Amino acid sequence: MARENQWRSKWKFDPWVTALLVVILVNVIVLARSTQLLRRPGEVTELEAIRQGAVALADFYGTQIKQLGLQNNAAVRNAMAKYRFEVEQALAGDQVAQAMSVYGRNLADVIEREQQLTREQAVLDIVKQEPRVSTAKEGATITVQIENGKVVIEDPEDILSPPSEQKLKISDQVQGLAEMVQIQVRNGQAKLLTTRSLPGQVHALRQEINAAQAALQQAMQAGGFAELTGPGLLIRARQSRGQALIENVLGYDVRDIVNELFAAGASGIQVGAQRLIATSSIRAVGDSILVNHQAVATQPLEVRAVGDPEVLASALDLITHSPYFGLMLDIRKEGTVTLVAHPLR
């Protein structure tokens, strides 16, 4: 039991190793699938295989979190929940890989940070037990850090007694410190100072920037202002044989297609060469269709949608069998559909 506790206290996550693990895991899965070396019952798709790899990584993290005693830590639980959510929401293999890279790395960093905070608290708890603290000089500081694998204590005011110093030196938690810890005496009590190193601060800021960039990219994709790739439908619509082109009916039919696709959960839609956004307009003028006030070809009219191909195709059945629908649709389910970005103005 003592050996297990010692292992727990010394376990550290290395973000760079984690990132490398993520890249290797994704590449191995994709390569195995492409060479037919990795087979599962029911012919698992490449996307499903990559997602299973991402879930396996989450399970690995979950095991380590339990071994470190951080399963009830709010920050760790939130980071894990965010990672699992982004992996489940991804619609393509590259999106799963991005979620693993960004949110998996963030999860590792949160675990590392919370480990450090736990160890800093262990230092503080030992110092608080020292009777001399209550009579120590106001502002007196004790520094504890690891140098060459040993616990080094700087105590200029000689506050700590030999037994207290010994407790710090033999503590498994203290021996696992990743950064320097400073304790200051204030009003006769020991208080923990924030002493995160400059490299640690830079690393934390980089993580915040990466997370913000990922969130911005997702928002722009959802809004139609960034290229979006994923499984979906490629639809080619033609006028029904023997039916005269009626301007209003053509516009209504195209809008019906778009509305049904969005209602079925499409992440993005493109009509012709025009990506749809919240303010897009679709209307017929003569034998042409104007989308975003730009004419698009109608013979055939091409509509691209990113989302679950089965669900999207099923949604279109509701309108294609209507006697009032005037278009013939050629619907193809694709593993990869790319939508252009609507220009930013």
Output the pLDDT for position 33: 47
Amino acid 154: pLDDT: 92
Q: Which domains does the chain have, with CATH numbers?
A: 2-115+201-220 (no CATH), 120-193 (no CATH), 224-339 (3.30.70.1880)
Mutual orientation of helices 198-223 and 93-128 as an angle, nearest 10°? 150
- Exposure on the CB side of residue 85, measured as CA atoms within 13 A: 7
β-bridge partners, 275: 270
**What local confidence, expressed as pLDDT, does residue 129 receive?**
93
Judged on CB neighbours under 10 Å (0-12, 13-18, 19+), 64 is: middle
How far is the CA of 172 from the CAs of 4, 56, 63, 142, 303, in angstroms?
11, 30, 20, 19, 62
> Using an 8 Å Cβ cutoff, are 228 and 306 in contact?
yes
Q: For position 163, what pLDDT does the model report?
A: 93
DSSP 109-139: HHHHHHHHHHHHHHHHHHHHT-GGGGGSPTT
Report pLDDT for 204: 64
Amino acid 11: pLDDT:
46
pLDDT tens for the 345 residues of the chain, in order: 444 444 444 445 555 455 555 556 555 554 544 444 444 455 557 778 888 888 998 999 999 899 888 999 998 999 999 999 988 888 777 788 888 888 888 898 889 888 888 899 999 999 999 999 999 999 899 999 998 889 999 999 999 999 999 999 999 889 988 888 889 999 999 998 865 555 556 666 776 787 788 788 888 888 899 999 989 999 998 876 655 444 455 778 899 999 999 999 999 999 999 999 999 999 888 778 899 999 998 888 899 999 999 999 999 988 888 777 878 899 999 989 999 999 987
Strand partners, 191: 184
How far, CA to CA in Å, does 268 sit from each of 236, 308, 335? 17, 11, 15
Question: What global pTM score does this model have?
Answer: 0.57
Mention every residue, 6+ apart, whose C-beta is less than 8 A from residue 184.
139, 140, 141, 142, 190, 191, 193
Cross-strand partners of 236: 302, 330
Burial degree of 38 (CB within 10 A; 0-12, 13-18, 19+) = middle
d(CA 87, CA 101): 11
Q: Give yes or no for a contact between 281 and 257, defined as CB atoms under 8 angstroms apart.
A: no
pLDDT at 277: 93
Q: What residues form DSSP beta bridges with 193?
A: 182
pLDDT computed for residue 273 by the predictor: 92
CA-to-CA distance for 20 and 286, rounded, in angstroms? Answer: 57
pLDDT of residue 100: 87
pLDDT of amino acid 29 = 52
3-state class percentages of the chain: helix first, strand second, coil last, to nearest 5: 50, 20, 30
Per-residue confidence (pLDDT) for residue 20, from 0 to 100: 55
- Looking up tokens 């675990």, which residue turns up? 111
The pLDDT value given to residue 151? 92
Q: How far apart are CA 217 and CA 228, in angstroms?
A: 10
Q: How far is CA 285 from CA 212, 241, 249, 254, 317, in A?
A: 42, 20, 11, 13, 27
Residues 84, 78: Cα–Cα separation, whole Å: 10
